[in-house]
């Protein structure tokens, strides 16, 4: 009998297992993969709020030791102007983009070191129930034998196609099809000098570049999800034509470098899933998949893990009724994550800027504190609800007017 079974051993699952095991709970973590295992379907950016959590858990030094660059400069090239800023309210004051074979392994090693039991090559099949309550799982070992394990709680950290979510019948809300989101085409490059984290935004398209492990750079273009798909052999020409049109400078630096891996081109459907029920909960993409345009998923996953582990610890250690205590996970997760999900979805439309948006960015160019707060929305240290509140937008407009008067 385990206290908790966690299905999925990447950033959401390994972090949840780590935090619970450190509190002395008996944790089993399973994954169909074997580790170390890479995961290329991600551009790896862990924003400021995520870096602060890694620091709090004592794992940021291991990320740094992997020679993953410390990302402290952020720019957004809007054509007419370039905004620069640093998210406020951050302790570490930096973002990182470790390859997943690095980050997931650091979290998993720490979970195992804390006492979690890891079983690899194990495919979750279904939950076990006692009446309405989930009390364990069945899974298939790699030799085809069936594994049955019981637990006081089951956590689904098995990604956006979560079979745990399906087994427990979690309902989805704030759902968007992939055509309503962004289409991201990216690759790793070497030999490319960067000016920090570079974002380039133009109507109906974006581009980006930042550093990752192995002295490599991740760079991509983002188009609306309705854009026609490009044949594999044409991807390189398509990428450079779009990049050239947005930033001849970044295009030239990328051309002078070397592409190190195949192109990845993908869009995802997004959603929130109800993340908790009797004996179960969902963390990371299993419970909330956000459009990749804001590179928010890993930071979300780490924050979910932190919150869920705290509530599970309280419930498991008898500080309150287990189910009632963990039920608080849903509203607390949504208070932070839903505004970011909806902001990401809106941004993924890549709509041409309205006059108000142009005015906002013009004002931000003269207001560094608020430009920093805008970058904080991405760094997840400032809520989009606060930044885009009528009061804050009015404050930004007023500061622009008083600057114009004094000039
Ligand atoms: C194009 C793209 C770019 C992105 N870029 C970024 C970015 O720059 N920054 C960022 O923060 N996020 C980014 N994301 C999102 C990020 O990749 C996800 O949010 C993150 O991987 C979620 O982590 P997770 O641990 O919840 O799930 P996953 O990383 O999906 O891991 C789930 C694990 O569960 C295991 N599993 C699944 N089913 C089973 C089963 N039945 N039995 C056993 N094991 C199972 C899998 O093997 C896997 O190891 C991007 C996503 C995409 C698509």
CATH code where residue 117 lies: 3.50.50.60
pLDDT over 90 at 400, yes or no: no
* Closest residue CA from atom 19 of ligand 1: 297
Encoded tokens for 236 = 């390189």
Asked if residue 123 has its Cβ within 6 Å of ligand 1, the reply is yes
Mutate to test the pocket of ligand 1, among 5, 7, 9, 10 (most ligand atoms within 8 A of CB): 10
Q: Does residue 207 sit in the same domain as residue 324?
A: no
Tell me the C-alpha distance between 138 and 91, whole Å. 42
Residues 341 and 369 both lie in one domain: no
Q: Is 333 in the pocket of ligand 1 (CB under 6 A)?
A: no
Signed CA dihedral, 84, 355, 221, 88: sign only: positive
> Above 90 in pLDDT, residue 402?
no
Instruction: Supply the CATH number for residue 242's domain.
Output: 3.30.70.2450
Within a domain: 29? yes
Residues 14 and 135 in one domain: yes
> CB of 13 closer than 6 A to ligand 1?
yes
Residue 53 is assigned to a structural domain of this protein:
no
**Rounded Cα gap, residues 367 and 382, in angstroms:** 16
- Same domain flag for 191 and 234: yes
Answer yes or no: is 63 within a domain: no
Backbone angles phi, psi at 151, to 5 degrees: -155, 160
pLDDT, residue 405, reads 65
Residues 257 and 276 in one domain: no
Separation CA 123–CA 266 (nearest Å): 25
- Residue span of the structural domain in which 368 resides: 355-406
Question: Do 113 and 27 share a domain, yes or no?
Answer: yes
Rounded mean pLDDT, 52-73: 98
Do 280 and 147 reside in the same domain of the chain?
yes
Whether residues 278 and 146 share a domain: the answer is: yes
Has residue 92 been placed in a domain? Answer: no
Residue 398 lies in a domain: yes
Q: Which atom of ligand 1 is the closest one to the Cα of 184?
A: 1
Please give the pLDDT value at position 221.
98
Query: Does a structural domain hold residue 84?
Result: no
Confidence of residue 85 (pLDDT cuts 50, 70, 90): very high
Ligand 1 site-directed mutation target among 285, 294, 344, most atoms within 8 Å of CB: 285
Outline where DSSP puts E strands in 157-257. 172-176, 182-190, 197-202, 205-211, 216-224
Q: Which helix (H) or strand (E) holds 106?
A: helix 100-113
| In a shared domain, residues 125 and 217 | no
Ligand 1 mean position to 368 CA, how many Å? 34
pLDDT tens-digit series, residues 210-258: 999 999 999 999 999 999 999 999 999 999 999 999 999 999 999 999 9
For residues 275 and 38, what is the distance between their CA atoms, to the nearest angstrom?
A: 26
Q: Is residue 360 one of the residues assigned to a domain?
A: yes
Mutate to test the pocket of ligand 1, among 292, 333, 337, 378 (most ligand atoms within 8 A of CB): 292
Query: Domain tally for the chain?
Result: 3
Phi/psi at 165 (5° precision) = -60, -40
Where b means 16+ CB within 10 Å and e means fewer, 49-67 reads: bbbbbbbebebbebbeebe
Q: Are residues 316 and 364 in the same domain?
A: no
Ligand 1 neighbourhood includes 363 CB (under 6 angstroms): no
pLDDT value, residue 233: 96
Q: How far apart are CA 331 and CA 12, in angstroms?
A: 18
Q: Is residue 79 part of a domain?
A: no
Do 257 and 218 share a domain, yes or no?
A: yes
Would you state the torsion angle of the CA atoms of residues 399, 365, 373, 386, taken in this order, to the nearest 10 degrees?
50
Mean pLDDT calculated for residue range 121-138 = 98
Instruction: Identify the domain boundary among 308, 329, 346.
Output: 346
Do 24 and 145 belong together in one domain? yes
């Amino acid at each position: 009998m385990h206290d908790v079974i966690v299905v999925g051993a990447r950033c959401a699952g390994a972090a949840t297992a780590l935090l619970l095991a450190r509190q002395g709970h008996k944790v089993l973590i399973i994954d169909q993969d074997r580790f170390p295992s890479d995961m290329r379907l991600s551009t790896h950016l862990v924003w400021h709020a995520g870096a602060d959590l890694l620091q709090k858990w004592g794992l940021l030094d291991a990320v740094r030791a992997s020679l993953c660059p410390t990302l402290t400069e952020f720019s957004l090239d809007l054509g007419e102007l370039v905004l620069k800023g640093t998210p406020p309210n951050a302790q570490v004051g930096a973002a990182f983009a470790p390859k997943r074979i690095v980050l997931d392994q650091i979290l998993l090693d720490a979970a195992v070191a804390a006492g979690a039991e890891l079983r690899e090559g194990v495919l979750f099949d279904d939950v076990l129930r006692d009446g309405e309550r989930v009390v364990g799982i069945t899974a298939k070992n790699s030799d085809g034998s069936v594994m049955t394990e019981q637990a006081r709680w089951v956590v689904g950290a098995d990604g956006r196609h979560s079979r745990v979510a399906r087994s427990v019948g979690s309902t989805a809300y704030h759902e968007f099809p992939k055509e309503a989101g962004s289409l991201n085409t990216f690759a790793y490059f070497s030999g490319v000098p960067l000016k920090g984290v570079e974002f380039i935004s133009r109507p109906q398209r974006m581009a980006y570049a930042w550093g990752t492990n192995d002295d490599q750079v991740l760079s991509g273009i983002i188009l609306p999800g309705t854009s026609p798909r490009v044949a594999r052999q044409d991807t390189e020409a398509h990428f450079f034509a779009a990049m050239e049109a947005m930033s001849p400078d970044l295009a030239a630096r990328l051309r002078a470098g070397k592409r190190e891996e195949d192109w990845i081109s993908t869009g995802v459907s997004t959603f929130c899933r109800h993340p908790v029920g009797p004996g179960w909960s969902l963390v990371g993409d299993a419970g909330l998949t956000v459009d990749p345009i804001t590179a928010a998923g890993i930071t979300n996953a780490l924050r979910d893990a932190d919150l869920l582990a705290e509530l599970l610890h309280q419930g498991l250690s008898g500080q309150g009724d287990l189910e009632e205590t963990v039920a608080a996970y849903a509203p607390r997760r949504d208070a932070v994550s839903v505004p970011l999900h909806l902001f990401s979805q809106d941004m993924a439309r890549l709509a041409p800027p309205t006059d108000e948006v142009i005015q906002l960015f013009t004002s931000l160019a003269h207001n560094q504190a608020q430009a920093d707060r805008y970058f904080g929305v991405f760094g997840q240290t400032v809520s989009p609800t606060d930044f885009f509140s009528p009061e804050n937008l009015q404050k930004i407009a007023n500061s622009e007017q008083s600057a114009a008067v004094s000039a």
